[in-house]
């Protein structure tokens, strides 16, 4: 955020003046000649039924959308064997995370998060005027520090699973133990859960304090439509519903999401392609001898080793720049000691991944 002038700053909320703006991954104005592996989007287009449905709905844009997104809520509920009053939808999962913060945090009710994790959490905390407690991982294996999370003195705790940026998936028994013993709302951010072996939805029956957020940006190829949803106990959903904006999901996004969620055959075909490419990426980096987390997401988090056998923040950034100069965009997180020597690579098409591998081999020579 740009510096606010002195004559204007006296009118601005202190939470706004002190906040640091979220920095999203690079979004180019055009994809021509570019390989984009930096923001974990799905490399495949949405289901063909999405475009057909959206085109049919265009003539109804003179009307407001359903403020409750009832058809979409019921579809999601059926998909997860839940009732409609256990679902809320929003403008991407970020919208739902924001609703959780606005509902369960304030200056007297602090937030908690794992460190490092999704960089939006501190911003939401700051805007709400809530203190943020960070629970650090012991090392770069990113194993869940269960006891430390339980011991945190917070009112809401964000748990990203699979974890970002590592891709590590946490044990469901450990998550349930946290939910049962922490005196807080446990928000499980499952943005990448469709690429994982297990998810936390079965835990909803065992702990009333769990909120699970999901997005259609990754596995359903709808990053441009901004659709997310949350699953929780009906009483929690009712609270979140009272905080959200009335028309928080536009008509086109509602019908696009409904169409995407209905086409299970297309979804599963694309998901399997991503998983196959993830396996191939794991094998490639294993042969290079690079330390790589066993990912349960649609990306790989790996520690580059240069031709001299070195790994460091400088080595990781050198590869990042080398690839960028070849119009291959990946992600380097230089803001934390557990991530600065690594790069994160979104899983792309087999053609794009082949070009990536060729470029990495060239860099190593």
pLDDT tens digits along 77-87: 999 999 999 99
Query: What distance, in Å, lies between the first and last C-alpha atoms of the chain?
Result: 41
Q: Where are the domains of the chain?
A: 6-44+265-364, 49-263
Backbone phi, then psi, for 281, in 5-degree steps? -65, -45
Tell me what percent of the residues of the chain surpass a pLDDT of 70: 97
105-162 per-position pLDDT tens digit: 999 999 999 999 999 999 999 999 999 999 999 999 999 999 999 999 999 999 999 9
pLDDT digits (tens, 9 = 90+) for 8-47: 887 888 777 777 766 677 777 667 789 999 999 999 999 9
pLDDT of 278 reads: 99
- Tell me what the mean pLDDT of segment 160-167 comes to: 98
Residue that has been written with the tokens 């000691």 in this structure:
337
pLDDT at 1: 64
**Beta 132-136 vs 156-160: how paired, if at all?**
unpaired
Predicted local confidence at residue 22, as pLDDT: 67
**Confidence grade of residue 60 (pLDDT, cut at 50, 70, 90):** very high
125 within 8 A of 148, measured Cβ to Cβ: no
Neighbours of 279 (CB within 10 A): 12
Average pLDDT over residues 265-270: 99
Q: How far is CA 106 from CA 99, 155, 207, 274, in A?
A: 12, 9, 23, 40
pLDDT score of 267 = 99
What six digits make up the tokens of 311? 């790994």
Distance CA 37, CA 327 (A): 10
Which residue is associated with the tokens 């809530």?
A: 130
- CATH number for region 6-44+265-364: 3.90.1150.10
222 CB burial (10 A radius; 0-12, 13-18, 19+):
buried
Q: What is the C-alpha to C-alpha distance for residues 287 and 285, in angstroms, rounded to an integer? A: 5
Class of domain 49-263: alpha beta
The pLDDT value recorded for residue 4 is 82
Reference 229, options 70, 122, 105; nearest CA is: 70
Q: Does residue 100 register a pLDDT over 70?
A: yes
pLDDT one-digit tens code per residue, 194-245:
999 999 999 999 999 999 999 999 999 999 999 999 999 999 999 999 999 9
């Amino acid at each position: 955020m740009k510096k606010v002038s002195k004559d204007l700053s006296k009118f601005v909320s202190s939470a706004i003046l002190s906040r640091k703006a979220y920095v999203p991954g690079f979004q180019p104005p055009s994809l021509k000649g570019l390989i984009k592996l930096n923001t974990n989007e799905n490399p495949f287009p949405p289901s063909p039924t999405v475009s057909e449905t959206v085109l049919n709905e265009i003539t109804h844009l003179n009307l407001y959308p359903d403020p409750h997104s009832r058809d979409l809520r019921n579809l999601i509920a059926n998909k997860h064997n839940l009732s409609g009053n256990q679902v809320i939808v929003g403008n991407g999962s970020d919208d739902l995370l924001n609703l959780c913060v606005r509902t369960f945090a304030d200056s007297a009710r602090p937030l908690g998060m794992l460190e490092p994790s999704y960089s939006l959490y501190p911003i939401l905390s700051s805007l709400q005027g809530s203190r943020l407690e960070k629970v650090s991982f012991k090392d770069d294996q990113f194993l869940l520090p269960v006891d430390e999370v339980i011991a945190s003195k917070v009112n809401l705790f964000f748990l990203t699973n699979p974890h970002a940026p590592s891709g590590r998936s946490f044990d469901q028994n450990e998550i349930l133990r946290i939910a049962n013993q922490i005196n807080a709302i446990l928000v499980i951010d499952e943005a990448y859960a469709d690429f994982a072996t297990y998810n936390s939805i079965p835990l909803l029956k065992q702990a009333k304090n769990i909120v699970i957020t999901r997005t259609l940006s990754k596995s359903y190829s709808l990053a441009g439509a901004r659709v997310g949803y949350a699953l929780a106990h009906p009483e929690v959903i009712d609270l979140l519903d009272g905080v959200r904006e009335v028309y928080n999901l536009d008509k086109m996004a509602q019908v696009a999401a409904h169409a995407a969620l209905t086409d299970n055959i297309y979804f599963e075909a694309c998901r399997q392609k991503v998983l196959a490419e993830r396996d191939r990426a794991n094998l490639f980096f294993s042969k290079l001898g690079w330390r790589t987390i066993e990912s349960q997401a649609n990306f790989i988090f790996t520690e580059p080793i240069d031709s001299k056998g070195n790994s460091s923040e400088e080595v990781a950034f050198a590869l990042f720049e080398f690839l960028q100069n070849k119009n291959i965009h990946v992600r380097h997180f230089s803001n934390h000691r557990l991530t600065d020597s690594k790069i994160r690579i979104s899983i792309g098409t087999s053609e794009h991944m082949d070009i990536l591998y060729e470029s990495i081999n060239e860099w190593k020579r």
